[in-house]
């Protein structure tokens, strides 16, 4: 769907790249990196808005600069902090987008109500965009990216400014898009959103890709150890703590009343054994899972270039 | 290139230009300047003007704005056309669609130019109706379609130059300033060259003034209209310094085409080779 092969953008004072990665069909690829790392430049090279100084970029197997029309025919883009045409209404903007995507008037008119409903803007159809809130403009930006049922969505911070309920709704909208055969490239700083939605990651730092692969493999790559968090119905007895400490792969155990934090080596996954021991001890297991901050830890470590 | 997309972008450009109040303000001012003199004359008493001129007073409203306001409106429409899209960050939204850069450029160029045509047509309708309403039926109007056509053609020079500057500098305020500077400098230099020619009698100053961009723009509509109107109208052409410089219609048309095409070629070449910047603040 999208390939960058040693793509470099040299701004003179700053150089981004060489960047190489491929996005396969059906992926939801999270694109992570600190501000100024080159995420937007990469996205803009993919969209044919800027030319790579060297290397090559392909979108839908086409050069997005010389074959812009064909490369972008099945691609929708929602920019970060979208600057939409404030003098138009949402319906007018979507109509314009439909025309630019080559849809006829009838097809566009049929699609607009569904898109506005999908993003929760039906009742604002006729408002001028200048009167919409930031979150509504963000919703509209996603809607305009989805006009004409593209196969690929490139989303730059798609849920920024959107309320939590809206963000949850958008996640299900994006999952449905992928279930229907779509592919998503999504840049975001909201790690929980990336963790909840993405199947793979590309992490960029100082203009270079430091990780490209499955999301689940990113965490073990960039953390020295993982932490299993357990919540019991009551405080664990010494026997259980002793037994858990002896499980293969467990390096450290901290018990605080009914909560246990078990540090395990990154190459092992002793969750099955741990849960069996807890249940056999007769304790009530309320919850168990890897620590929620793991992606953040791994991301921070990948930026530092260390697993510590 | 797909005509449907170019048309959609042209319509969009007209909406965008109209949404900018400064363009509307200048259009309103032009209309006022076109029609107010007729109503002022009516207030003063139509009998003050010799009756022989009454059927040709439409000439005043059509030609007086040509030299200044129509060019200035052309400039105002075009100067922000590309640059404001960069400043507002809307260029990247439009160009991330399956739209080629040529379609985008052409759509916006044509849209603004259609708006300019509409302003010229509105100016003509208001002028002729005001002159008819106050001074009775107007004569010689068979020349009007040709004059309007030539006015629209003449407007190409500063429209294209301002469009080019907008693309090159990508800052609207700078684009307005530079485009206006080109226009006013050409007008002022033209006046100076004519004065020097009058004082020295040296033909080179006169010749130089003919090649300034304002010269063919001001001259062509008059050069084509004057021979087709009765002698009595010549006096009206002198009003408000309306008078063609001595040059041929062909040379004027060639110069207009040359200036316009050069500006378009430069703008297209630059636009097709340079990156689309993120929002410029």
- For residue range A201-218, list pLDDT tens digits in order: 998 888 888 888 888 888
Most confident of A272-276, B118-122, B231-235, B266-270: B266-270
Per-residue pLDDT at B279: 67
Please enumerate in sequence order all residues whose Cβ is within 8 A of that of A13, keeping only pairs 6 or more positions apart, or say none: none
Q: Tell me how many degrees the CA angle A93-A97-A102 measures, rounded to the nearest 5.
A: 150
| Residues β-bridged to residue A204 | A209
Which residues in chain A are closer than 8 Å to B12, comparing Cβ atoms? 85, 96
| Residues β-bridged to residue A4 | A21, A57
Per-residue pLDDT at A76: 95
Residue-wise pLDDT for A149-188, tens only, equals 999 999 998 888 888 888 888 888 999 999 999 999 999 8
Q: What is the DSSP letter of B104?
A: H
> Nearest Cα to A173, choosing from A192, A161, A186?
A186
Which residues in chain B are closer than 8 Å to A96, comparing Cβ atoms? 8, 12
Per-residue pLDDT at B244: 52
**Nearest C-alpha of chain B: how many angstroms from A172?**
25
Confidence of residue B241 (pLDDT cuts 50, 70, 90): low
Q: Is A72 on the interface with B (CB under 8 A)?
A: yes
Which residues in chain A are closer than 8 Å to B89, comparing Cβ atoms? 79, 82-83
Query: Crossing angle for the helix pair A90-100 and A105-118, nearest 10 degrees?
Result: 130
Confidence of residue B13 (pLDDT cuts 50, 70, 90): very high
**Which ipTM was obtained for this model?**
0.84
- What would you report as the CA-atom Rg of chain A, rounded to the nearest whole angstrom? 23
Pairing type for strands A208-214 and A200-205 reads antiparallel
**Is pLDDT at B240 greater than 60 in this prediction?**
no
**Nearest C-alpha of chain A: how many angstroms from B102?**
11
**Is pLDDT at A125 greater than 90 in this prediction?**
no
In chain B, which residue's Cα lies nearest the Cα of A77?
B96
> Is there a contact between B15 and A87 if contact means CB atoms under 8 Å apart?
yes
Rounded Cα distance, B86 and B174, in Å: 13
Rounded Cα distance, A202 and A209, in Å: 7
Q: Where are the domains of chain A?
A: 2-219, 223-304
**Is pLDDT at B281 greater than 60 in this prediction?**
no
Q: Give the least confident one: A89-93, A222-226, A239-243, B53-57.
A: A222-226
**Nearest C-alpha of chain A: how many angstroms from B6?**
9
Q: pLDDT > 90: what percent of chain B?
A: 51
Per-residue pLDDT at A22: 92
Which residues in chain A are closer than 8 Å to B94, comparing Cβ atoms? 100
Angstrom CA distances, A102 to A112, A248, B6, B97, stand at 15, 60, 11, 10
Q: Is the dihedral of CA B223, B225, B230, B232 positive or negative?
A: negative
Per-residue pLDDT at B238: 66
Stated as kind and residue range, the H or E segment containing B261 is: helix B249-273
Residue-wise pLDDT for A250-304, tens only, equals 888 888 888 888 888 877 788 888 888 888 888 888 988 887 677 777 778 777 7
> Is there a contact between B92 and A49 if contact means CB atoms under 8 Å apart?
yes
> Is there a contact between B97 and A50 if contact means CB atoms under 8 Å apart?
no
Q: pLDDT > 70: what percent of chain B?
A: 94
> Is there a contact between A69 and B19 if contact means CB atoms under 8 Å apart?
no
Per CATH, the architecture of A2-219 is what? 3-Layer(aba) Sandwich (3.40)
Burial A142-179 (b: 16+ CB within 10 A, else e): bbbbbbbbbbbbbbbbbbbbbeeebbebbbeebeebbe
Which positions in chain B have a beta carbon within 8 angstroms of at least one beta carbon in chain A? 2, 4-5, 8-9, 12, 15-16, 19, 88-90, 92-101, 275-276, 278-279
What's the token pair of residue A67? Answer: 């074959």
**CB burial of residue B44 (10 Å; 0-12, 13-18, 19+):** exposed
> Is there a contact between A72 and B16 if contact means CB atoms under 8 Å apart?
no
Q: What are phi and psi of A261, to 5 degrees?
A: -115, 115
Angstrom CA distances, B44 to B39, B130, B235, B236, stand at 9, 15, 20, 18
Mean pLDDT of A72-79: 93
> Is there a contact between A70 and B99 if contact means CB atoms under 8 Å apart?
no
Q: Give the least confident one: A41-45, B160-164, B238-242.
A: B238-242
Mean pLDDT of B8-36: 85
Q: Is the dihedral of CA A110, A116, A122, A124 positive or negative?
A: negative
Per-residue pLDDT at A271: 87
Rounded Cα distance, A9 and A159, in Å: 27
Which residues in chain B are closer than 8 Å to A69, comparing Cβ atoms? 98-100
Per CATH, the architecture of A223-304 is what? 2-Layer Sandwich (3.30)
> Is there a contact between A83 and B279 if contact means CB atoms under 8 Å apart?
yes
Per-residue pLDDT at B174: 95
Q: Is A47 on the interface with B (CB under 8 A)?
A: yes
In chain B, which residue's Cα lies nearest the Cα of A52?
B275
**Is pLDDT at A248 greater than 70 in this prediction?**
yes
Pairing type for strands A183-187 and A152-156 reads parallel
> Is there a contact between B101 and A68 if contact means CB atoms under 8 Å apart?
yes
Q: pLDDT > 70: what percent of chain A?
A: 98
Mean pLDDT of B163-179: 95
Confidence of residue B67 (pLDDT cuts 50, 70, 90): confident
**Is pLDDT at A119 greater than 80 in this prediction?**
yes
Q: Chains A, B: CB contacts under 8 A, how many?
A: 78
Mean pLDDT of B79-103: 93
- CB atoms under 10 Å from CB of B254, counted, come to 12
Q: Is A107 on the interface with B (CB under 8 A)?
A: no
**Is pLDDT at A307 greater than 60 in this prediction?**
no
Confidence of residue A134 (pLDDT cuts 50, 70, 90): confident
Which residues in chain B are closer than 8 Å to A44, comparing Cβ atoms? 92, 275-276, 278
Query: Which of B7, B13, B93 has the highest number of chain A CBs within 10 A, making it the mutation to test binding with A?
Result: B93
Per-residue pLDDT at B110: 97
**Is pLDDT at A72 greater than 80 in this prediction?**
yes
> Is there a contact between B275 and A49 if contact means CB atoms under 8 Å apart?
yes
Which residues in chain A are closer than 8 Å to B275, comparing Cβ atoms? 44, 49-51
Higher model confidence: residue B158 or residue A289?
B158
Task: Please name the member of A48, A72, A82 whose beta carbon is closest to the beta carbon of B93.
Answer: A82
**Is pLDDT at A28 greater than 90 in this prediction?**
yes
Query: Which of A47, A73, A88, A99 has the highest number of chain B CBs within 10 A, making it the mutation to test binding with B?
Result: A99
Which residues in chain B are closer than 8 Å to A82, comparing Cβ atoms? 89, 93
Q: Give the least confident one: A73-77, B57-61, B147-151.
A: B57-61
**Nearest C-alpha of chain B: how many angstroms from A73?**
5
Q: Give the least confident one: A48-57, A137-146, A270-279.
A: A270-279
Q: How far is CA B39 from the centre of its chain?
A: 25
């Amino acid at each position: 769907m999208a390939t960058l092969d040693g793509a470099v953008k040299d701004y003179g004072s700053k150089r981004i790249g060489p960047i190489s990665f491929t996005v396969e069909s059906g992926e939801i690829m999270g694109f992570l990196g600190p501000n100024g790392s080159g995420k937007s430049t990469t996205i803009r090279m993919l969209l044919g808005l800027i030319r790579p100084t060297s290397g090559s970029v392909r979108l839908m197997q086409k050069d997005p600069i010389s074959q812009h029309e064909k490369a972008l025919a099945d691609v929708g883009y929602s920019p970060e902090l979208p600057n939409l045409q404030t003098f138009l209404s949402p319906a007018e903007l979507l109509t314009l987008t439909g025309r630019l995507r080559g849809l006829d008037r009838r097809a566009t008119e049929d699609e607009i109500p569904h898109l506005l409903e999908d993003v929760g803007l039906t009742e604002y159809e006729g408002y001028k965009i200048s009167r919409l809130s930031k979150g509504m403009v963000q919703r509209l930006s996603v809607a305009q990216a989805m006009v004409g049922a593209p196969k690929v969505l490139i989303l730059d911070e798609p849920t920024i400014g959107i309320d939590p309920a809206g963000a949850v709704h958008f996640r299900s909208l994006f999952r449905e898009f992928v279930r229907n055969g779509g592919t998503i490239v999504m840049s975001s700083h909201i790690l929980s959103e990336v963790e909840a939605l993405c199947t793979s990651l590309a992490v960029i730092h100082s203009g270079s890709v430091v990780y490209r692969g499955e999301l689940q493999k990113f965490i073990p790559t960039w953390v020295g150890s993982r932490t299993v968090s357990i919540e019991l119905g009551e405080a664990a007895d010494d026997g259980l703590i002793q037994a858990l400490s002896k499980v293969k792969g467990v390096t450290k155990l901290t018990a605080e009343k009914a909560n246990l934090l078990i540090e395990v080596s990154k190459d092992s996954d002793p969750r099955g054994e741990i849960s069996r021991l807890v249940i056999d001890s007769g304790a009530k297991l309320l919850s168990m899972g890897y620590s929620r901050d793991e992606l953040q830890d791994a991301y921070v470590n990948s930026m530092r270039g260390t697993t510590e | 290139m797909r005509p449907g997309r170019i048309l959609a972008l042209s319509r969009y450009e007209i909406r965008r230009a109209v949404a900018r109040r400064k363009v509307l303000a200048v259009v309103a001012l032009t209309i006022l300047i076109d029609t107010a003199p007729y109503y002022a004359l009516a207030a003063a008493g139509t009998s003050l003007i010799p009756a022989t001129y009454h059927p040709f007073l439409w000439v005043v409203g059509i030609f007086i704005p040509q030299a200044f306001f129509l060019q200035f409106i052309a400039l105002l429409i075009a100067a922000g056309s590309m640059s404001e899209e960069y400043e507002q960050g809307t260029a990247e939204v439009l160009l991330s669609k399956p739209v080629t850069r040529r379609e985008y450029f052409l759509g916006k160029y044509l849209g603004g130019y259609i708006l300019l045509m509409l302003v010229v047509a509105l100016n003509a309708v208001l002028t002729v109706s005001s002159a008819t309403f106050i001074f009775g039926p107007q004569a010689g109007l068979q020349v009007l379609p040709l004059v309007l056509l030539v006015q629209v053609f003449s407007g190409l020079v500063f429209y294209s130059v301002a469009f080019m500057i907008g693309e090159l500098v990508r800052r609207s305020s700078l684009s307005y300033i530079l485009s206006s500077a080109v226009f006013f400098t050409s007008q002022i230099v033209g006046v100076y060259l004519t004065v020097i020619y009058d004082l020295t009698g040296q033909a080179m100053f006169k010749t130089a003034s003919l090649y300034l961009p304002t010269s063919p723009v001001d001259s062509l509509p008059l050069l084509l209209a004057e021979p087709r109107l009765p002698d009595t109208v010549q006096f009206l052409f002198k009003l408000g310094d309306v008078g063609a410089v001595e040059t041929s219609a062909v040379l004027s048309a060639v110069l207009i085409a040359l200036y316009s095409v050069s500006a378009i070629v430069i703008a297209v070449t630059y636009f097709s080779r340079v990156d689309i910047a993120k929002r410029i603040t």
